[in-house]
Structure formats: structure tokens, C-alpha cells
Amino acid sequence: MGAGKRSLVATAVGLVCAVTVLGGAGSAFATPAPTPTATPAPTPSVTLPPNKDLEAVHKKLEQLYHDAAVATDAYNAAEEQTERQSAELVELAREIVKGQERLAELKDRAGAAARAQYRSGGLPPTARLWLSDDPQAWLEGVSRIRQGEKATTGLLAEMTRTQQDLELYARDASAQWKKLEASRKVRAAAQKQIKQQIAAAEGLESQLQKEEKERLAELEREAAAKAQTSWLGSGVLDDIDATDGSATAQGKKAVAFATAQTGKPYEWGAEGPGTYDCSGLTSAAWAAAGVTIPRTSQQQWDQLPHVAVKDMRPGDLIVYFDDASHIAMYVGGGKMVHAPRPGRTVTIAGAGSMKILGVVRPGA
């Protein structure tokens, strides 16, 4: 959050307190929406399996990086929520400032009217009128008094409405502040979990010798190739090949952007331009094509239109694993581009190299 936003939020909080004191305690105008609670994850073990079983190490690393991906999705969602709630709070701060200024102006006008009456000897206009012995002045005075009474009534009504608006904004800002604090806690907990999972994975890998690391990398490649071969063997590409050329203009732009990022490092929570996480890459690619999509892989899976795998075309997003914790972009020819995990770079790989949950289509 920038300095200007922080200043406005601080102003909002101060004004919330002031207006609440003036208006009296009241129930919150907006009930805070349920926010996911941050459940601290236990610190993962970094102990090597017996006899340095590389198959077991591979599975352990996959689990650690998977858990880090799940936590990254939670962090990204909380970050997005925090930005939205901050913007709403800033807007409330502006409304409160405008309301306070308007109320001060109305009070000045009311004070001016009171001072004018004092200067006239303290007599109300009606009393002065009845003491007048000029018939024409009396008739003109009746009209002015009626206009004045109407103006006074309107002034008092506007002061009341402004005061009520301020109290409403104060209660709403108070509720929004609570939601913002809850989102910050979720974000902080997710951030801690991401770092723990990544540190555990890196700690596990650091215990391996150079030859063991090379063999582990080979095991990972073999597992991915086996999954891709099995996927292709299902005949799915026969159906997909028929649609590979049907990418929309926006889909082609998204693919061009995503593939141009190959070689850039993975970084959790990143949306470019120098680093990306998996959903940061897909959302940035479609933004480059002029389409705004949700930020996280789980949101993209939940909110974008689903299409059958056999109907997949370039630009569509492939969602992986049962919890939708990873996402990539289909580029055609049975391939996808994705930001895999910490320690890796954006790369093109087999679309079936991981367990596919389903496919979604931005811009549909």
C-alpha cells in the first residue's frame, strides 16, 4: 500500500473514532464477510529417508512443493482481498473527510444565522415584523420570514442527514478495518507456511550429493515423461489436434506472451515482469491479451468457464491436481507453458506430465 493510501486509511481510522464518539456506539453497518482462518502448519521434516531412497526423496519433495503451492494460492487470495479492502477503506476515508467538511460548513451557516439574530437585538424575525408599523414592509416581511423558515428547516435537515451519513460511514469503515486485519493475518500465516515448505525442500535437497541430485532430476524427468506418454496414449491428442488451429486472436496473444516468458524464474506471489508463480503467469498472459481473469489457480478453476480436455485449444488453462493448486496454459501440440515451482524457470512441458483436473477458458 502506498504512502497516500496509508495516510487516507489512517485518516479514516481517526475519523471513525471521532464520529463514533459523536454518534454513540452502534452495531456495524456491514457484517464482515467470512475470512478463511489461518491455520499454522507444522514445520515439515527435512530428514533424508533411510538409505537416501531417491524415490522417497522425490515424493517428499513433490509433497513439500505442492503444499507450498497451496499456501501460495492462499497468500495470493489474501493479498488480492487486502488490496480490495484497502481501496474500499480509502474510499470510505474520502467520504468521511467530505462529510466532515460539509458538516463544518453547515455549522458555520447555522452560526452565522444565530449571530445575525443576536446583532438584531435578539428578537426573532416574527417578533420584529409584528412591531413594524409599515403595512408594505409587513407584507414583504411575511414572505421573507417564510423563506427564511424554509431555509432554516432545510439547513437543520441537511445537518441531520450529514451527521447520519458520517455515523454510517464510521460504522462501515470500522467493519471494513476488521476485515482488512483478518485478511492480513491470513496472508501472514500463508507467507510463513510457504517459507517453511520451501526451506524444508531446499534443506532436503542440500543433503544430497551432486550425483544424487542429478539422479533425482532424472527421476523427475522420467516421471513427467511417463505421465505424458500415458496421456498421449489415451488418444486425447487426436481430438485436440482438430482444435489446435482454432485459437482466438486473444488466445494467440496470451500464448505469445506466456511463451515469451520462458527462462524467467519462479517466485511465489509474483505476477511479472521478471518473475512469476503459476497463476501469476496465466493471469499476466491473459491481461496482455486484454482479458482480466482471477488471480489464483483455484479462483481461475472456480470462476472461469470449463471445457472438456478434448476440446482444448491454445490459450486455454489446464488446472492440475485435485485441489487446483497448479495451473498452466495450453500452447498446442500437446504442450503447455507454466511456472513450475521454486528453483525452476518458466518452461514448456508436456500438457499431460501432471494429473489434470480440468480445463478452463478465459475470454469465453
In degrees, to the nearest 5, what angle opens at C-alpha 76 toward C-alphas 71 and 79?
A: 125
C-alpha distances out from residue 325 to 67, 68, 146, 188, 207, Å:
9, 9, 71, 19, 27
The terminus-to-terminus CA distance of the chain in angstroms comes to: 33
Instruction: Give the type of residue at 233.
Output: G
Cell of 321: 491436481
At which residue does the C-alpha cell 521434516 appear?
Answer: 45
Specify the length of the chain in residues. 364
Pick from 81, 64, 151: nearest CA to 113: 151
Pick from 193, 209, 206, 196: nearest CA to 47: 206
C-alpha distances out from residue 288 to 250, 253, 291, 329, Å:
9, 7, 7, 14
Known active-site residue 338: yes
Catalytic, out of 58, 66, 306, 338 = 338
Is the separation of the CB atoms in 319 and 300 below 8 Å? yes
Catalytic, out of 17, 58, 278, 306 = 278
Pick from 110, 123, 102, 108: nearest CA to 153: 110
Residue 206 CA to residue 198 CA, distance in Å, equals 12
Cell of 304: 472461469
Give the CA radius of gyration of the chain: 32
Cell of 81: 482481498
Catalytic, out of 58, 66, 306, 326 = 326
The three-class DSSP label of residue 306 is strand
Cell of 35: 475470512
Pick from 360, 322, 333, 198: nearest CA to 269: 198
Known active-site residue 278: yes
Cell of 16: 471513525
Known active-site residue 17: no
What are the catalytic residues? 278, 326, 338
